[in-house]
Structures are given as C-alpha cells and as structure tokens.
Structure 1
C-alpha cells in the first residue's frame, strides 16, 4: 500500500487555487509565485513546478477514476482498528 513517505506539499486549498486560476488562463509559473507552503521543511516558500504538476496529475487520476479512489478509501477504513 501507500504508507509513509513525505506529505504532499500542495494542499487541497492550493490545488483549488491552481485549478481556478488555470481555468482563467494564468500560467503555472505565475500561480506558483503566489502559493506558500504551509507546513514542513519548506514552510513559507513557494512549491516547485514539479510539485504542482504532480498534484495536478493526481487530481486528474482521481477525476478519471473516482470509483477506484472510493474503493481504496473504503478498503483503508476497514483496515483501521475501531475503538
């Protein structure tokens, strides 16, 4: 499964901003300069273009295959110990 690793630099709010501004015709280079990483080692800095493209790719995958994402979430939920 997908465990551990680094947390994503692009938050859902940042992704929403990127999608909205990109729909208005802005370039990723311009949008990137207004994005600020909220946590972690690079807190307060701009994310890389690669991070933005990675987040957009993940978003596209979720849009294209929502049933797979739902199934993965359901499988994960069943694996969690209930208190």
Structure 2
C-alpha cells in the first residue's frame, strides 16, 4: 500500500484518470459519433487529456479546498 503522506498525489491521479476518461469519451462522441476507429481516437484524446488533468488537479486542488472550506459550514457543530 501507499503511505498516507502521498494521499494528495494518489487522489489527484485517480481523479484525473476518471475525469479525463469520461470527458474525452463524451467529447469524442459529440465530435465524431461512433465513427470507425472511435476507440483508438478516444484513447489518444484520453492520453492527452490525462497529461493536462493530472498536473491541473495538483495545482488547483489546494485553491479549491480553501474556497470550499470558506463557503461551507458544518451545521452540526452549532
């Protein structure tokens, strides 16, 4: 198993895997439909999307965590 100190990196990796897979698949379908070679085109787009998604999540997640904590309230603590 992976040490908890790498949680941020593992979380971002897994999030990027699923996010880029879904988005690249939807965009490939919307642009081409189920054309010949759809799967190969999708996987090529997926690889490019993942290459952008993973570092983006690593950079953006601390900011989004701060913003989310600023706008959310734990009402059970009152």
Question: What is the TM-score when the length of structure 1 is the normalising length?
Answer: 0.28
| Higher-RCO chain (CA-CA 8 Å, sequence separation at least 6) | 2
- The structure with the larger Rg is 2
